[in-house]
Amino acid sequence: MHRKHVVIVGAGPIGLETAVQASEAGFKVTLYEKREVAHNLRLWGHVRLFTPFGMNVSPQGIQLLAESNAALPSSDALLTGREFVKVYLEPLANALRKRITIHDNCSIRAISRGDLLKGEAIGCRESQHSKFRLLVEQNGRESVDTADLVFDCTGVYPNQNWLGTGGIPCPGERSVQDRIEYSLPDLNGDAAKKYRGTSVLVVGSGYSAATTICELASIANQSPGTIIHWATRRCDPQGPISRVKHDPLPERDELARQANRLATGQGRAIRWHRGYVVEHLQLHQDGTHIVATLRSLEKPDSQSIRTEQIEVGQIVAQVGYRPDRSLHDELQIHECYATSGPIKLAAFLLGQQGTDCLSVPACEADTFRNPEPGYYILGSKSYGRNTQFLMQTGYEHVAKVFRELSAACQSSPSMV
Domains defined along the chain, listed by start: 5-158+321-411 (3.50.50.60), 165-317 (3.50.50.60)
Long-range contacts from 62-69, C-beta under 8 angstroms, 24+ separation: 64/20, 64/92, 64/95, 64/96, 65/91, 65/92, 65/95, 67/95, 68/94, 68/95
23-35 burial: b if 16+ Cβ within 10 Å, else e: beeebbbbbbbbe
Q: What is the pLDDT of residue 224?
A: 86
Q: What is the pLDDT of residue 413?
A: 54
Q: In what order do the strands lie in the sheet with 141-147?
A: 107-113, 132-138, 141-147
253-266 burial: b if 16+ Cβ within 10 Å, else e: bebbebbbebbbee
Distance in angstroms (rounded) separating the CA atoms of residues 33 and 107? 6
Q: What is the pLDDT of residue 412?
A: 61
Q: Is the peptide bond before 158 cis (omega within 30 degrees of 0)?
A: yes
**C-alpha triplet 152, 156, 160: angle, nearest 5°:** 150
177-203 burial: b if 16+ Cβ within 10 Å, else e: eeebbbbbbebeeeebeebbebbbbbb
DSSP secondary structure string for all residues of 88-154: IIHHHHHHHTTTSEEESS-EEEEEEETTB-TTSSTT-GGGGTPPEEEEEEETTEEEEEEESEEEE--
Q: In what order do the strands lie in the sheet with 28-32?
A: 101-103, 28-32, 5-9, 149-152, 375-377
Residue 52: Cβ-neighbour burial (10 angstroms; 0-12, 13-18, 19+) = middle
| pLDDT tens-place values along the chain, 416 residues long | 468 999 999 999 999 999 999 999 999 999 999 999 999 999 999 999 999 999 999 999 999 999 888 889 999 999 999 999 999 999 999 999 999 999 999 999 999 999 999 999 998 888 878 999 999 999 999 999 999 999 999 999 989 999 999 999 999 999 999 999 999 999 988 889 999 999 999 999 999 999 999 999 999 999 989 999 999 999 888 899 999 989 999 999 999 999 999 999 866 789 999 999 999 999 999 888 999 999 999 876 666 788 999 999 999 999 999 999 999 999 999 999 999 999 999 999 988 877 788 889 999 999 999 999 999 999 999 999 999 999 999 999 999 999 999 888 766 655 44
Q: What is the pLDDT of residue 301?
A: 64
Amino acid symbol at 305: I
Question: Which H helix or E strand runs over 180?
Answer: strand 180-181
